[in-house]
Amino acid sequence: MRWAFRKWPGMVMIMLFVLVQGVHPAEQIKNREALRWFNKGTRESNLDKKIEYYRKAIALEPKFVEALYNLGLTYKKKKDYENAEKYLLRAYTAKPDKISKEIKLSILYDLSFIYKKLGRLKDSEEAVRGAVALMPKKSMQAKLYLELGRLLYQQGRYDEALVELEKGKDLLPEYRGQFSQMIELSENMQTLNQLYEDANRAQKAGDLKRARSLYEKIYTRNKTFRNVDRKLTELDSMISRQNAESLMAAAVRQAEQYEAEGKLELALAIYENLQQSHPSPEIQKKLTALQEKYRQWKLNQDLLIEYENGVSALKLKNWAAAVYSFEKIMAANPGFKDARRKLDIAKRGMENAKVETLLSQYYENGLAAMKEKDYEKAQAAFEKISQVNANYRDVQALLQQVQEARAEAAESEKPALQTREATLDSLYQVALYLMEQKSWSEANVVLEKIRILDPGYKDIVDLLATTRTNMASASKTTPSLKAGNTLASRLLFWGGLGFTLVSVPLIGMFIFLPAVRARFYLLRGNYVAAAQIYEKLLERNPGRLKPYPVLADLYLLLGRRDDQALNIFKVIVRLKLTTKRQEQIEEILTQNYLKEGNTDDDAISLLEAALKSETRKLQAGHANPTAETPGE
């Protein structure tokens, strides 16, 4: 008699087949008509007809276990898992006292599969546990323990999964690899689960930084674990709200974070912007300390590279190159690592080397440095040769050639330095004149430009303090704003901007037009969200000019100086779009061009415009010496 088993992997299915083959329904069923329909069903290949024949057998014999079981398997083949479950359960409970362990084992195993397909992992787990208890041989239990471990793993019950996997891992050698893999997965998820619980507790306790750190560890190891990505987003939002007491405080914390992460350039940019927009001794102190830290970091990076060059030269017994590298390090930082000891090693190597070999090494190093246009290194090499043997090959000619190249390079740098010095001196004279005229606001603008170009230039720090003091005094004593007054214009601008942000109608909160949403965010002080809306508007329609000035103002409020912000500022200048912060935008671009050493048309135009602006102000001062200034 043939049973319609489903295809089951491995030795477990083979064992179940052998066990169930020993059960003959003819020995248990006396209704011959029911038995006839059952046999007809086992021989039929068409699944729908098989179902029909088995159902007829069951109608004649409702507790026909084998017919119920085969009907359940046939439904399973058709992927009708609800009916498959129904008839397998009837088979299991039809004759609970008379059904054999083998039949029960087969039914439980198939039920486990069906429950898994239906997504009822808990029921699938219970079925497998029942099958484990009925399996006569321990070797056959291995597959069941593995399946049970998988079910528990899928339910997130990693501790229990590990218990079951440990029970079965040594039962059958062939499955050790699969057990090891599942154990490793379970242990990993157990660790992630513990981290998640710790993070959740930290979040509830208000320790948001620790919670985020733990969630970040989870995200690094498994980005899809539970809802860790949403948790990170939620925490970022909470931390942002917590740290949003003021824009300046938030910017300082961001700078400190960048500094902690080693992103010193970004931190410097924030501090420089803050000191420009909100000067204070505290920010200046932080900026000065960070500038020194950055200088030390850059020096340390250069020394590390030179150190590696020296170590490589030592390994190759290139004593000359090693001595050059370590002497350069010692000149900059005598305590750097073990540079002194390695320099001694290199010098001893030089002493022990033959003079000809040593000179040859210096010679090759000098030629290589010349090829790379490192004339300083080349000159050092040729001078070493000249000290030992002035007539060595063509070293004198090469030394003269290198010295001339260095002199030419130095001369080529003078015009740029002279031009920059002339620019600074010109601006300085303009500032002094404006201060004599008591045009404190205009003088302050010129002095700020000088500070951007050279923070330590002459006595601009003292002059800036003088102009700011007089500007503050003028603001207290002047009862009204007059036409043509630059300070008044600026106050009107800031007042106008504040009025615009505050007076947006509340009904705009419920309108979903992008521009209205952007104004709503401006009202709420959420400049980041407003900027994102205008960015999307420009992505969809780059030719639309209206958003550019608004987006530029937002970037200035946010203190952004990244590439995207600079590109927007460049569009404002190139297209001559109207904005009340035109001067500040030009100053930022000018500063950026000077830092990068850029000499393209935009950079030259901006620098020329800055000089022309100062010249016009100076001429206006001569033409109308009695004009009222903010300080009067």
At which residue do the structure tokens 């119920």 appear? 68
Distance set, CA 67 to CA 35, 94, 106, 605 (Å): 9, 11, 14, 93
Long-range contacts of the stretch 582-589 (C-beta < 8 A, 24+): 583/445, 583/613, 584/556, 585/552, 585/556, 586/610, 587/448, 587/449, 587/452, 588/561
pTM here is 0.28
SS3 372: coil
The yes-or-no verdict on residue 17 having pLDDT over 70 is no
Among residues 64, 11, 17, 72, which one has the least CA distance to residue 39? Answer: 64
Question: What topology is assigned to 10-191 in CATH?
Answer: 1.25.40
User: DSSP labels for 562-574?
Assistant: SHHHHHHHHHHHH
- pLDDT band for position 622 (cuts 50, 70, 90): low
Count of other CB atoms within 10 angstroms of residue 316 = 11
SS3 376: helix
Q: What does the pLDDT read at residue 416?
A: 55
Q: What does the pLDDT read at residue 299?
A: 87
| pLDDT tens readout for residues 453-496 | 788 888 988 898 899 888 887 766 554 444 444 444 444 344 44
- Residue 115 CA to residue 128 CA, distance in Å, equals 10
| pLDDT tens readout for residues 208-254 | 888 889 888 888 878 888 788 888 898 888 887 777 556 889 999 99
| pLDDT tens readout for residues 51-98 | 999 999 888 988 888 888 999 999 999 999 999 888 888 888 888 777
Q: What does the pLDDT read at residue 177?
A: 76
Q: What does the pLDDT read at residue 135?
A: 64
| pLDDT tens readout for residues 285-343 | 988 998 998 888 888 889 999 999 999 999 998 999 999 999 999 998 999 989 999 99
At which residue do the structure tokens 């179902």 appear? 51
The yes-or-no verdict on residue 393 having pLDDT over 80 is yes
- pLDDT band for position 612 (cuts 50, 70, 90): low
User: DSSP labels for 394-425?
Assistant: THHHHHHHHHHHHHHHHHHHHHHHHHHHHHHH
At which residue do the structure tokens 């942000």 appear? 501
Instruction: Name the more confident of 79 and 6.
Output: 79
Question: What topology is assigned to 489-598 in CATH?
Answer: 1.25.40
